[in-house]
């Protein structure tokens, strides 16, 4: 067995050929699908709640609804690539409550107050108009352990043609009843960011 192996190696050594080399270049185009996203509320690009009497939430406990009606809104996608299949949306509240609707609502603050100040009131976002449970609200902060990424297939969006929509519904909830009522009376505002990834 050993002799055969040696003779093969000798044969290969004496019958080597000269070789040429050829440069090969590979090319391709990677297309990243895109859309133009915009937020549509009941007041332009904002959500505006009707005025609320302080007495209606003065004695509520954390996580209770402040008003029964949900304010409809939507994220609209236009000029989407024909290759678009899926959209990932990451929600993040700018000042997220950790009491009422913990990590699923973002505080409203009085205009003119220092950044990060908050009232008793918070806003929670839902995917359906009838949803009210804390577990139904969209996660706005991953500190609580849940994912704040929503994966939506293009076929699940409403609308047709060049404009597609992802419906949202906003509700006022009591975020923290330890805040003073005086911190909750006046012109309130809050917000957050939504990041999109297209696939």
Furthest-apart CA pair in the chain: how many Å? 102
| Residue 23: per-residue pLDDT | 84
How much is the pLDDT for 27? 74
- Where residue 24 falls (left for φ over 0; alpha for ψ -120 to 50; beta otherwise) is beta
Distances (CA, A) of 192 to 46, 87, 124, 152, 169: 11, 19, 11, 20, 15
Separation between Cα atoms, residue 170 and residue 73, nearest integer Å:
7
pLDDT tens for the chain, residues 1 to 199:
333 344 344 444 555 556 678 888 887 666 678 999 999 999 999 999 999 999 999 999 999 999 889 999 999 999 999 899 999 999 999 999 999 999 999 999 987 676 557 899 999 999 999 999 999 999 999 999 999 999 999 999 998 778 999 999 999 999 999 998 988 898 999 999 999 999 9
CA distances from 38 to 28, 48, 158, 165 (A): 32, 17, 15, 10
Residues in a beta bridge with 170? 71, 125
How far apart are the C-alpha atoms of 128 and 114, rounded to whole Å?
A: 33
The DSSP result for 51-83, as a single string, is P--GGGTTTPPTT-BS-SPPEEEEEEEES--TT
Spell out the domains of the chain, with CATH numbers in brackets: 30-45+59-198 (2.60.40.1090)
């Amino acid at each position: 067995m050993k002799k055969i192996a040696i003779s093969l190696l000798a044969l290969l050594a004496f019958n080597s050929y000269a070789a040429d080399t050829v440069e090969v270049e590979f090319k391709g185009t990677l297309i990243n699908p895109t859309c133009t996203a915009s937020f549509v509320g009941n007041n332009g690009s904002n959500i505006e709640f009707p005025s609320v009497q302080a007495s209606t939430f003065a004695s509520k406990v954390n996580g209770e609804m402040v008003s029964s009606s949900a304010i409809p809104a939507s994220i609209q996608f236009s000029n989407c690539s024909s290759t678009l299949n899926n959209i990932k949306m990451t929600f993040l509240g700018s000042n997220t409550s950790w009491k009422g609707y913990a990590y699923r609502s973002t505080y409203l603050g009085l205009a003119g107050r220092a950044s990060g100040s908050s009232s008793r009131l918070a806003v929670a976002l839902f995917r359906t108009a009838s949803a009210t449970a804390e577990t139904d609200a969209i996660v706005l902060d991953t500190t609580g352990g849940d994912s704040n990424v929503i994966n939506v297939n293009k076929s699940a969006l409403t609308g047709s043609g060049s404009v597609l929509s992802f419906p949202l519904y906003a509700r006022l909830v009591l975020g923290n009843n330890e805040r003073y009522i005086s911190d909750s009376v006046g012109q309130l505002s809050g917000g957050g960011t939504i990041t999109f990834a297209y696939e």
